Amino acid sequence: METKYIFVTGGVVSSLGKGIISSSLARLLLSRGYRVTIQKFDPYINIDPGTLNPYEHGECYVTADGHEADLDLGHYERFTNIQTSRANNVTTGRIYQSVIDKERRGDYLGKTVQIIPHITDEIKRCVKKLGNTGKYDFVITEIGGTVGDIESTPFLEAVRQLRWELGKNALCIHLTYVPYLKAAKELKTKPTQHSVKMLQQAGIQPDILILRTEKELPSSMCRKVAQFCNVSPDAVIQSLDAPTIYEVPLMMHAQGLDKIVLEKTGLNADGEPDLSGWNHFLHKLETATEEIRIGLVGKYVELQDAYKSISESLSHAAAYCDKKLRLIYIHSEKLTEEDVDEKLREMDGVIIAPGFGQRGIEGKFVALKWCREHDIPTFGICLGMQCMVIEYARNVLGMEGANSTEMDHATPYNVIDLMEEQKSISNLGGTMRLGAYECELAPDSLAAKAYGSTKIRERHRHRFEFNDNFRDRFEEGGMRCVGRNPETGLVEVVEVPGKRWFIGTQYHPEYQSTVLHPNPLFVAFIKAAIAYEHERLAIHND
Ligand code: GLN
């Protein structure tokens, strides 16, 4: 069949959840047997979000092919279980870079290079790139930002042109917000009407409207919106606040979103999507009542989107273990020897978060020392793993002042050091060790037991690594290097065998945990936390 292109735009305000709506629609179409991919177009000038502070746009996600991407791609993968790539996330910066490169090469020789047609043509080329591979029946394109933003204008113009060119093979879903005014006790559709007008001014007539709301909309109101906005009444769908994002596909299906999309793109809309695996997960997620308490020690705790993939991975793992996740964010900058006991005492397991730079690092060492001495299931991820190594060096192996050269160039024990290939690189953007790499695990390690395999592949994002010169001292002192890259020998996993569960990974397992395939290491960590909780209860009840 010819590839169908679905554009998802947003109006009124940002943060309405275009990513979740796109992912939910993809889930429904996949469950009906179609091949689907989702891509995100971000209107900012950065080439990718890799250089952005997490306070700006939340977590930076990493694709298997080593692209630093918007966190929405994490949602896409978690919902669809299908890997994304560099082609799935394009920014204004990338579009301009490629047009300017072509101009310098002389590709436009003689022509004035302009937003229309050159920038819009480049956007259109990127929109169709995935469709042209022949691998997808549906390409869902989420346009970042809000209609009316100056930055997103060229993207909307490209969508307008594409809809004209593609005819029935393209449609536009517009997501807006219907606020509830408490004082007036009224839901207001005016912002939606304005936002659709603005889209129409850009030459785009939405086919489907999805209205985000905190209160159920009466059907008369949906009909009114339909009438004002030239949309058929059955194509006005409401998206009420959901107890979990994983319920949204079901809410959309109940209102026929998948059916309407199929009908409007000329496909057979009979039959039902097979959501059995999804429902199995959701049932577990929603019926679990016993809590499992996990502490996440990091420096971006004010903004929980900064650790999105970790919190979602934990929630998947907890659900499959029939537990309700209670994730407690612990600010690493505020954690001290004096209050660590009080802050960590109630935890069943502790995660030491990834990150960059000095800020908050001492709190991570304090947490790690406490966790190690109290033998609590502990999971260090990337910088968290590096901190595990440093803390062990300082407090167990007697290497006073041990550090990573990221924090201290002059450390007498550079147990974490810059990777050889990083030493000559000065640019910050896109130059880390990025993407999926193989790792070989020691057969008798806890990590191998968790994965049920000694050969794994996980995604990376870092510049520094375990310094192999110190390996013997660590191994003799009780910390084992149990995972290695088979080609380079880089240490990817460490563990302390005498402990209940004390594992650090140089890679980020959270980038590869999906609803249908939770990451085995997170599941093993939650299981260890459950076992520890049981042990504590048993002692307590004695
Ligand atoms: N800052 C560390 C490095 O670059 C860890 C990075 C991370 O946690 N993602 O190696």
Ligand 1 centre and the CA of 385: distance in Å? 9
pLDDT at 432: 85
Question: Which of 60, 385, 386 best tests ligand 1's pocket when mutated (most atoms within 8 Å of CB)?
Answer: 386
> pLDDT by residue (tens digit) across 346-362?
999 999 999 999 898 99
pLDDT at 105: 94
Residues involved in catalysis: 382, 508, 510
- Tell me, rounded to whole angstroms, the distance of Cα 79 from its chain centroid: 11
- Please give all residues whose beta carbon lies within 6 A of any atom in ligand 1, as ranges: 354-356, 382-383, 406, 461-464
**Percent of all residues in the chain with a pLDDT value above 70, rounded to a whole number:** 100
Q: How confident is the model at residue 390 (pLDDT cuts 50, 70, 90)?
A: very high
Q: How confident is the model at residue 14 (pLDDT cuts 50, 70, 90)?
A: confident
Question: Which of 60, 382, 460, 506 best tests ligand 1's pocket when mutated (most atoms within 8 Å of CB)?
Answer: 382
| pTM score | 0.94
> pLDDT by residue (tens digit) across 148-191?
999 999 999 999 999 999 999 999 999 999 999 999 899 999 99
Ligand 1 centre and the CA of 89: distance in Å? 22
**3-class SS at 482?**
strand
Q: How confident is the model at residue 501 (pLDDT cuts 50, 70, 90)?
A: very high
Ligand 1 centre and the CA of 32: distance in Å? 40
- Measured by CA distance, the residue closest to atom 1 of ligand 1 is 356
Q: What Å distances lie between residue 447 and 4, 42, 527, 533, CA to CA?
A: 42, 37, 13, 21
Average pLDDT, the chain: 94
Atom of ligand 1 nearest to the CA of 357: 1
Q: How confident is the model at residue 63 (pLDDT cuts 50, 70, 90)?
A: very high
Atom of ligand 1 nearest to the CA of 508: 9
> pLDDT by residue (tens digit) across 424-436?
777 777 788 899 9
| 387 has pLDDT over 90 | yes
CA distance 98 to 92: 10
Q: What Å distances lie between residue 348 and 213, 325, 449, 525, 539, CA to CA?
A: 36, 11, 20, 10, 14
| 456 has pLDDT over 80 | yes
> pLDDT by residue (tens digit) across 71-108?
999 999 999 999 999 999 999 999 999 999 999 999 99
| Region 368-379 average pLDDT | 97
Length of the chain: 542
| 509 has pLDDT over 80 | yes
| Region 441-458 average pLDDT | 97
> pLDDT by residue (tens digit) across 214-234?
999 999 999 999 999 999 999
Atom of ligand 1 nearest to the CA of 381: 8
Atom of ligand 1 nearest to the CA of 461: 9
